[in-house]
Structure 1
Amino acid sequence: MTVSPLPYPLRLTGDGIVLREWRWEDLDDLVALLDEPDIARWTLRPSPFDVEAGLAYLRRAHRGRLDGSRIQLAITTDGGRPLGEVLLFNVRADAHEAELGYLVGLPFRRRGLASAALSLLTAFAMDNLRLRRLLLRIDRGNTASTSVARRCGYRPAAEPAIQQTGPYGPVHLDTWEYVEGRADTRDDRRRNVASRRYGRR
């Protein structure tokens, strides 16, 4: 089985959100989203995150989309202003698995955007890319992100923590997994889609 190159361009809609490709005109909004200490703490982004960092980020995203190595989409409610990001990368075709990640800007949290975006891309990866195992790497102190993962049907995997050093000190990443065929995942996904409302991340 081959899942690369990943489809480009891509636009996913559902659960009140639109996931779309990043555009060059998103630069100012991207800088505003990522120039935040919590984003740097949990995602190892540069801090401060300035226009130069934003341009480098968009170039990398564009390159990764053109060569089919990753899916990197802006989270929006209507296809317009980006409020966050969700991505799929490190695809291992032989193992039928890949990693996902997500972030939402500070002013737009607790609206269910992260959960909606993660569920939407998870469903696409399983149903369209035919992946069987999806992974998240989440710092054990990032309780908001672990809540999103659990709400979307991900569960802690039996793997040792990954230790990294970020701009705010050491980071200990636990692995969470979404596995095809596990009894609770599809039922969880249906329940979570039905239960997400404003007031959640």
Structure 2
Amino acid sequence: MTTVRRLPFPISLTGEGIQLREWASEDLDDLVVLLDEPDIARWTPMPSPFDMAAGIAYLKRAHQGRTSGQRIQLAITVDGGKPLGEVLLFGVDHGRREAELGYLVGAPFRRRGLAAAALTLLSGYAHGTLNLRRLLLRIDPSNTASTAVARRCGYRLTGEPPILQEGPYGPSSLDTWELVESQTNTRIDRLRNVATGRYGRRT
């Protein structure tokens, strides 16, 4: 049985050369540009094409999920300004101390290490502040860019059966990755300590 508990809202996380912040209504135009892209629609259940109506609905759901404490859904930025992508934490089970994470970066901003930085930062927060111990990713094995990010951040394949996901371009088969604490890199360890000191430990 899932243990329900509210996630903190609002939050802003800074480190690894980036800042993760809450989405705002002023981000609508940038959000549509980020998500109206075939590569994102291929690997996620995003509607395609992703137009203004989809963007409005997306921001509404994001705000509801945040204010209700059901998920953490943050824009990836360099300095708190223009959103370059998104990282999120959802499906939290506080009883089992586990959650799933996801990430995406807009096409013009890839190959800069933004996804790895965002995943590292939010994983550290999930460990150090939210006291979660099992952090998961679900990735199609054909999405080599995303699997490279997972490996770089200390996630490893679990060997669990694939999960089928329907998207605008058809079904995809998602492998489960888990953050392996014994192989966690020093960046996660450092961010866990920073997050605990800055935000305190919540149970």
Same-fold status (TM-score > 0.5): yes
Deviation string 1:7-27 (CA, Å, 9 cap, x unpaired) is 111000001100000000000
1:98 aligns with 2:122: no
Whether 1:71 and 2:72 are equivalent positions in the alignment is yes
Consecutive unaligned residues in structure 2, runs of 5 or more: 191-203
4+ aligned runs moved over 6 Å, structure 1: none
Q: Cα distance, 1:32 vs. partner? A: 0.2
Tell me the equivalent position of 1:61: 62
Q: Tell me, yes or no, if the aligned pair for 1:3 and 1:129 is still in contact at 8 Å.
A: no
Letter in 1 for 2:54: A
Whole-Å separation in 1 of the counterparts to 2:147 and 2:4: 27
CA contact (8 A) 1:86 1:102 kept: yes
Whether the 8 Å CA contact 2:165–2:172 is kept in 1: the answer is yes
SS of the residue 1:10 aligns to: coil
2:184 counterpart letter in structure 1? T
Paired AA for residue 35 in structure 1: D
Q: Quick one: distance in 2 between partners of 1:78 and 1:113?
A: 12
8 Å Cα contact 1:21/1:73 also seen in 2: yes
Equivalent residue number for residue 113 of structure 2: 112
CA–CA separation in structure 1 for the residues paired with 2:19 and 2:48: 28
Question: Counterpart amino acid of 1:87?
Answer: L
1:186 positional shift:
4.2
- Equivalent position of 1:25 in the other structure: 26
- The answer for the alignment partner of 1:132 in structure 2 is 133
Tell me the amino acid that sits aligned with residue 127 of structure 1: G
Aligned to 1:49, what secondary structure does the other structure show?
coil
Over the residues paired in the alignment, what is the CA RMSD in angstroms? 1.5
TM-score normalised to the size of structure 1?
0.90
Q: Give the match's secondary structure for 2:131.
A: coil
Contact kept in structure 2, 1:153 and 1:188, CA below 8 Å: no
Instruction: Give the corresponding residue for 2:201.
Output: none
State the AA in 1 paired with 2:73: Q
The TM-score, its normalising length taken from structure 2, stands at 0.89
Q: Deviations over 1:43-98 (max 9, x none)?
A: 11000000000000000000000000000000000000000000000001111000
Distance (whole Å) between structure 2 residues aligned to residue 187 and residue 120 of structure 1: 12
How many angstroms does 1:187 deviate by? 4.2
Distance, in Å, in 1 between the alignment partners of 2:155 and 2:27 is 30
Report the residue type matching 1:64 in the other structure: G
Aligned-partner Cα distance in 2 for 1:36–1:165: 17
1:37 maps to: 38
Identity %: 69
Q: Which residue of 2 aligns with 1:185?
A: 184
> SS state of the match for residue 98, structure 1?
strand
Q: Which residue of 2 is the match for residue 194 of structure 1?
A: none
* Count of aligned positions: 188
Does 2:153 align with 1:152? yes
Preserved CA contact (<8 Å) 1:154 1:176: yes
Alpha-carbon shift at residue 158 of structure 1 (Å): 2.2
Q: Does the Cα contact within 8 Å between 2:97 and 2:134 map onto a contact in 1?
A: yes
1: CA distance, partners of 2:136 / 2:171: 21
Unpaired segments ≥5 residues, structure 1: 192-201
Amino acid at match of 2:183: D
